[in-house]
Structure 1
Amino acid sequence: MSAALTLAGPDQLEKILPLVASYHLEAGIDSTDASRMTGIAPLLDGIPQGCAYLIGPPRAPIGYIVITFGWSVEFGGLDAIIDELYVRPGVRGRGIGSEALIALPRALASGGLRAIHLEVDRSNEQALKLYQRAGFTPRNNSVSLSKRL
């Protein structure tokens, strides 16, 4: 099975929405059909703040990655955050997540991206191993904090 990445566009909305719903359910994220639509549709329409990639065949994707863009003085320019990464449970453990995380920087590097960040629950050892295999390292003395507006 291939972890090929395809930039998702408006015509893939019906393919990605069920994946987002599955991820939110599995992760315990309280969301509605309307909030998921509001969150994903602008990314597929091409807003400059982010994008979504389908993992696997575009006709029958096995996962997705959502990237949002920002600017970092520390890293010297454009950076990105992996906002969501999901691979269907039935195909996990086959290296698909690792392949996707290795392919992602290649897909984004030509746009001048300087760094990619993500956050993970410290107790999720499986995810930590996945991210470390893909070259992500913890930042010393750094903690991710959020405030909902």
Structure 2
Amino acid sequence: MTEVRRAGAGDAAVLARLLWDFNTEFETEVDDVDVLEARFARILELPAVLAVLAEDGPDPVGFALVTLRPAIWFDGPVSQLDELYVVPALRDRGIGTRVLDLCTALAREQGSPEMHINVDEVDVDTRRFYERHGWVNVEDGTDYRMLCYVGPTG
């Protein structure tokens, strides 16, 4: 039975390996696991960072990372689902839904009224997953999609 729980800094190595697996699966450039582990260990000590880990017995099978930021439009923080991954062999078994549910519950406990995620337009399966869970890219009262842009800082 897969267990889903909040992860902590002690889970940094497992989370780093899962993130590395996620990025290499999609042939995305990624830092070495030891670099990711150090970053996870550092950021998971921050109160504005939440991580969720799914485990099937001793085996890690999925994770998510959520960050919180202050927002002018709400009394609570806006949450950003930065990563959500389930190992390929176990997809379509409800693990991603359980991870997402815990993420939203943890964010709600922190006073977050909404959560954001960026999804590549070509990633139809991922878009379908989030849409099935009530996520939208067209806000009520509009007829146009929301887009995310990435820009340089230096």
TM-score norm. by structure 1 comes to 0.84
**Distance of 1:75 and 1:122 partners within structure 2:** 28
Tell me by how many angstroms 1:108 deviates.
2.4
What residue number does 1:98 align with?
97
Q: AA paired with 1:39?
A: R
Tell me by how many angstroms 1:128 deviates.
0.8
Alignment of 1:142 with 2:146, yes or no, is yes
Tell me by how many angstroms 1:23 deviates.
0.7
Give the alignment's Cα RMSD to 1 decimal. Answer: 2.1
Note the residue ranges of structure 1 that are not aligned, 5 or more in a row: none
What residue number does 2:39 align with?
39
Stretches (4+) displaced over 6 A: none
**Structure number with higher relative contact order (C-alpha < 8 Å, ≥ 6 residues apart):** 1
What residue number does 1:22 align with?
21
* Partners of 1:52 and 1:67 within 8 A in 2: yes
Q: AA paired with 2:36?
A: R
**Distance of 2:53 and 2:20 partners within structure 1:** 15
Structure with bigger gyration radius: 2
Q: AA paired with 1:54?
A: L
Tell me by how many angstroms 1:42 deviates.
1.5
Structure 2 vs 1, CA of residues 59 and 42 (structure 1 numbering), >3 Å: closer, same or farther?
A: farther
What residue number does 1:60 align with?
59
- Write the deviation string for residues 73-113 of structure 1: whole angstroms up to 9, x where unpaired: 23443111111111001101112112222232122212211
**Distance of 2:129 and 2:24 partners within structure 1:** 21
**Distance of 2:93 and 2:83 partners within structure 1:** 19
- Write the deviation string for residues 39-68 of structure 1: whole angstroms up to 9, x where unpaired: 322233x11331221123584221110111
Note the residue ranges of structure 2 that are not aligned, 5 or more in a row: 139-143
Q: AA paired with 1:64?
A: F
Structure 2 vs 1, CA of residues 18 and 88 (structure 1 numbering), >3 Å: closer, same or farther?
A: same
TM-score norm. by structure 2 comes to 0.82
Tell me by how many angstroms 1:148 deviates.
4.3
| Identical pairs, percent | 24
**Distance of 1:72 and 1:79 partners within structure 2:** 6
What residue number does 1:89 align with?
88
**Distance of 2:90 and 2:152 partners within structure 1:** 33
